[in-house]
Chains A and B, each alone.
Chain A
Amino acid sequence: MKYVILGASAAGINAAKTIRELDPNGEITIVSKDKAIYSRCMLHHVISQGRQPREINFAEENFFEKYNINWLAGQEVLGLNTEEKTVLLTGDLKISYDRLLIATGSSSFIPPIKNLAAAKQIFGLRNIEDAVAVNLAAENTGAAVVIGAGLIGMDAAYALADRGLEVTVIETAEHILPLQLDKTAAQKYEKLFRQNAVNFFFKETTVEIKLDQDNNVRGVVLQSGAFVHCGLVIVAAGVRSNIEFLKNTNVKIGRGIQVNSYQETSVPNIYAAGDVCESTETFTGQVSLTPIWPSAILQGRTAGSNMAAIPRQLEINFAFKNSMTFYGLHTISFGLTGQADSDSKELIYQDAGNYKKIIFKDGVIKGAILQGDISNSGLIGKLVQDKTKISHPEQIFNMTYANFFAQKENGEFCFACNDNCH
């Protein structure tokens, strides 16, 4: 059996490992644009210079030798022929497969801003090459602009400020991390960022990059007419699935490659996992992209198992969860975190170091923000994921797993109401 995996990040690596565990003799090839294995979530550590590029490798040592996997590194996928069962790579190299996994991830979305394409010091933050290029550019300027205050944007802002640059963040919403936090939680962070030479423009968009005659970045112009001086710009305005090479194939695509709960695409023997695919998400029940690390891992393992002919369904595909930490302040959030609607009920706990908000609707938790002390937040996440009815909502901030304690035969913990236990 010839397995070909496109992509060597969370989904691809975990699929390969799963296949090898189930099929000791199959021929496994990973094709990746990446020339190294690294955690995309940790690229900002390379910018802040807290870690060397090799220190953000998430895989086991000697991964490819250990699992007997061929690795075609630095290879881009240019096309797919589903009749021939071949993929076309850089340099007209063609390889054939019996089972194919597409785990090509996503790329930074580049918004239509004047001069963006021509400018030299414009970077996304998706690849190790981006982080290395940002580092070089950061040596030649004292100021940076970050477009977009999502997690990637704020990680970038933090890292650049950490290495001494003055940073300005431009965000269309009215506070940072609009998908992960409410205004109160966001403002706690904004205060800390401001104390560290990071400035913000909210409800603003960037309309033009100002360049010198050699296309070096000199600043950005905002919708309001404001000008922000800078020598480099990071674009963190969302991502798009890497699916261009599927043009002219019959692989069904929405915002990403459509897959079922076995990670199967519309074409037999072709699977997809991770940021590149869209699937039914557990919290909303809707088909959407699920661009978080744990989803990529689980989808990769599920795909790998099915590719090796051991049927496995992705049972939980919960992507509405986030964790973050800036300046020593930790936050974990689940579900819907913004304004609760009229038939929801909000419970808030606040003291000097903590802000905790839980949103209830119809007796279940629809959203949670836990900022400061994040211990036991995993329990809240489990209750959100399982849509567990909470009989005493007023006690939610004091609840621990002791309130749900149950054990399986083998001594593992479980949740009495949901799992098979005794």
Chain B
Amino acid sequence: MAVKQGRRILINKDLCQGCKNCQLACMAEHTGNKSVLLLDLENRANQARNFIEPGNDGKPVPILCRHCDDPACVTACMSGAMTKNPYTGEVSCDINKCAGCWMCVMSCPFGIIQPDRVNGTRAVKCDFCAGRHIPRCVEACPTGAITMEQR
């Protein structure tokens, strides 16, 4: 059964200015009030699911979960928490099932999944801003480096 990839966030790294608006938006979206203004950057619970890292030329590179067609994190997950939705193509982690074994962290070659910083017991990854039509990182990007493709 070919998996349908409904939405994918596309990256044009040449347009990225490294402003990290996408990271702030990601953190805010995963807090109760979803507000960048009220976001407490000193609270370790506020953890971005996307990253901006310098490439070999020193220029910023956005690294966001690809919700891969054949996701290594899902293959490695031994609790059944990590699944790829066959209809939307989204890869999500059911934190109630997640056992914090870090097989997904070990297996994602892009370094996108991380342990939660507060308890270190659950995997934290991009959830495509569950329920939102356009993910916050896409909405927040002022340069067009991060866009969304609907298929």
Contacts and interface: CB of A to CB of B under 8 A. Distances in A.
A in complex with B: yes
A375 interface: yes
Contact of A325 (B1, B8, B100): B100
Contacts of A58: 77-80
A294 B66 contact: no
A294 B76 contact: yes
Contact of B78 (A41, A324, A330, A413): A41
Contacts of B32: none
Contact of B8 (A297, A377, A411): A411
Indicate the member of B11, B55, B83, B109 with the most A CB atoms within 10 Å: B109
A22 B10 CA distance: 30
B114 interface: yes
Chain A contact residues, majority secondary structure? mixed
A372 B115 CA distance: 11
Contacts of B106: 321-323, 332, 374, 377-378, 381
Contacts of A39: 78-80
Interface residues of A, number: 42
Nearest to A400: B53
Interface in B77-101: 77-80, 83, 99-101
A410 B6 CA distance: 12
B107 A378 contact: yes
Contact of B55 (A59, A374, A402, A411): A402
Nearest to A401: B110
How large, as a class, is the contact surface on chain B? 35 or more
Interface in A408-422: 410-413, 415
B20 interface: no
A323 B13 contact: no
B69 A410 contact: yes
Interface in B4-18: 5, 8-11, 13
Contacts of B5: 410
A297 B78 CA distance: 9
A21 interface: yes
B80 A413 contact: no
B8 A410 contact: yes
Nearest to B61: A402
24 contacts: A21-B1, A58-B79, A59-B80, A293-B76, A294-B72, A294-B76, A297-B75, A298-B75, A325-B101, A328-B120, A330-B115, A332-B102, A374-B114, A375-B111, A375-B114, A378-B107, A381-B107, A382-B109, A402-B54, A405-B55, A405-B63, A407-B11, A410-B69, A411-B66
Given A39-B79, A325-B102, A376-B111, 17 more contacts: A42-B79, A57-B80, A323-B102, A325-B120, A332-B105, A374-B105, A374-B114, A378-B110, A381-B107, A401-B61, A402-B53, A402-B54, A402-B55, A402-B60, A403-B55, A403-B56, A410-B5
